[in-house]
Structure 1
Amino acid sequence: MSTDPELTDDWEYTLQVPADPMAPCIARRTLRTIFEEHGFPELADTAELLTSELVTNAYRYSDGPASVRVKQDGDRVRVAVWDTNPRLPRLDLAALPEADAEQGRGLGLVRLCADSWGGFELRDQPQGLSGKLIWFELGAG
């Protein structure tokens, strides 16, 4: 982690992405830049992969925009992806897709690669927000 005093304070970014097939690519590139510039280059590959999986799911299974929130808390970084579909995906460990499957592995990757992860439905929020939020955390060191 960087020892530059200006970069050691906790930080937070939010990226709004439209329901567009380029959203996962834009999210990946943005996440890589954030992680590298804030002194977490060792986490950039994993963050990029997991964020791409979650944003791809948001594009495929919701009918509106999505947002990605990235927040540092000490030596941990949390990435949360919100989309407009309130249904939480199920991770069925007994029916994981084959290794060469082209889809269906996203949450399995999150489960395997993240230090912790979860999700929850958002209904009737004060700002009129609804949908779901899926998050994961990665730690340095």
Structure 2
Amino acid sequence: MVTVSPPATWAYTLRLPHDPRAARVARMTVRAALDGHGMSELLGVVELLTSELVTNAYRHTRGPASLRLTALGDGRLRVGVWDSNPHVPAPFDRRSVERLPPAPLDADNGRGLHLVQAYATSWGGWPIGDGGPLDNGAGKLLWFEIARTPSPEL
């Protein structure tokens, strides 16, 4: 009998239309991929942070977005969200040691990127396009990583 072991690295990409249901579809995709690859322990935080980035892509652009899930093989999962707005918001535009000021207590929004800072192992972002005279402002990519915590040795 032949035993097939699943690969340690994998990637899924999903194109999301500019639709208010995109964050829900992204969460369902995250759930299916992590369950299918035995990474269910990361599900809560990855769903939350993915939902925040996809919601921001919907709120701050008029075009589609893309979601990419990548298992990096060393217990880390990277989630990237591309959208068509080239503006890279803080904290993604700075070094990860800099912190955002807290959102006002009575604000209806503005907490999503704080959640990324609080729960992601690392994060980053960059504009896509070279800024030259023919650059059509291809958007930006924001990403975060979540690391699996090693199981305690018995």
User: TM-score scaled by structure 2?
Assistant: 0.80
CA distance in 2, matches of 1:58, 1:26: 14
Contact 1:54–1:81 at 8 Å: present in 2 too? yes
Q: Which residue of 1 aligns with 2:95?
A: none
**What displacement does 1:124 show?**
4.3
Q: Which residue of 2 aligns with 1:84?
A: 84
RMSD: 2.1
Q: 1:28 to 1:119 in 2, by over 3 A?
A: same
Q: What amino acid sits opposite 1:17 in the alignment?
A: L
Q: Is 1:118 equivalent to 2:124 in the alignment?
A: yes
Which one has a larger percent helix, Structure 1 or Structure 2? Answer: 1
CA distance in 2, matches of 1:44, 1:108: 19
Q: Is 1:18 equivalent to 2:17 in the alignment?
A: yes
Q: Is 1:95 equivalent to 2:94 in the alignment?
A: no
Q: 1:9 to 1:90 in 2, by over 3 A?
A: closer
Identify unmatched segments of 5+ residues in structure 2.
92-97, 150-154
Q: 1:94 to 1:30 in 2, by over 3 A?
A: closer
Q: Which residue of 2 aligns with 1:70?
A: 69
Q: Which residue of 2 aligns with 1:42?
A: 41
Q: 1:33 to 1:94 in 2, by over 3 A?
A: closer
The sequence identity of aligned pairs, in percent, is 47
Per-residue CA deviation, residues 45-72 of structure 1 (Å, 9 max, x unaligned), is 1000000000000000011000000001
Q: Which residue of 2 aligns with 1:138?
A: 146
Which has the greater radius of gyration?
A: 2
CA distance in 1, matches of 2:32, 2:110: 27
Per-residue CA deviation, residues 1-46 of structure 1 (Å, 9 max, x unaligned), is xxx8532431100010000000000001110111111011110110
Identify unmatched segments of 5+ residues in structure 1.
none
**What displacement does 1:139 show?**
1.0
Q: 1:62 to 1:99 in 2, by over 3 A?
A: same
User: TM-score scaled by structure 1?
Assistant: 0.87
Number of equivalences: 136
Contact 1:124–1:130 at 8 Å: present in 2 too? no
CA distance in 2, matches of 1:120, 1:103: 23
